[in-house]
Amino acid sequence: MKRIILITGGQRSGKSQHAERLALELSDNPVYLATAHIWDEEFRQRVAHHQQRRGPQWTNIEEERHLSRHQLAGRVIVIDCITLWCTNFFFDSEKPEDEQPTVDEALEALKTEFDSFTSQDATFIFVTNEIGSGGVSDNVVQRRFTDLEGWMNQYVARQADEVILMVAGIPIKIK
């Protein structure tokens, strides 16, 4: 039976670890679908830390954009994370700087990919950040990205069967 769970919260709130614990409660061999693009050495080390935390029972998949390429029916999948996934659509590395997608174009592409991916009969545990909880940025690019992610988070939350807000490592059920 298809199930969508969204886990959201601030940076270092315990989102990923909670998602991993939940996945292991639901499956002996969950899937970890990482959406990260490795930008620099510090981020590479963060990714390595996440990978070391998980054990051999995990199937690890790295996919920056096209989640629906992976047929995972019947599996429990942690998708970590919507924020980085949105970044990959917002900053399209395959296009020159002057041809980057608009917020609306990126949002429509994300929604289409989300709908295609989640049409499978599986348990999806999406992790995301609440980047719009702080002040309004004085940077136009950051404001545009915050809009994109906020709208995508709302879209996923509407589809979700369950929404959990992480605060200082404590899960709070929202939906």
Structure tokens at 119: 């049409």
Catalytic residue among 37, 49, 50, 70: 50
Residue 66 a catalytic site member: no
Burial class (CB in 10 A: 0-12, 13-18, 19+), 60: exposed
Instruction: Give me the residue label for tokens 């592409």.
Output: 109
DSSP states along the chain = --EEEEEEESTTSSHHHHHHHHHHHH-SS-EEEE-----SHHHHHHHHHHHHHS-TTPEEEE-SS-GGGS--TT-EEEEE-HHHHHHHHHS-TTS-GGGPPPHHHHHHHHHHHHHHHTTSSSEEEEE---GGGSPPPS-HHHHHHHHHHHHHHHHHHHH-SEEEEEETTEEEE--
Known catalytic residues are: 50
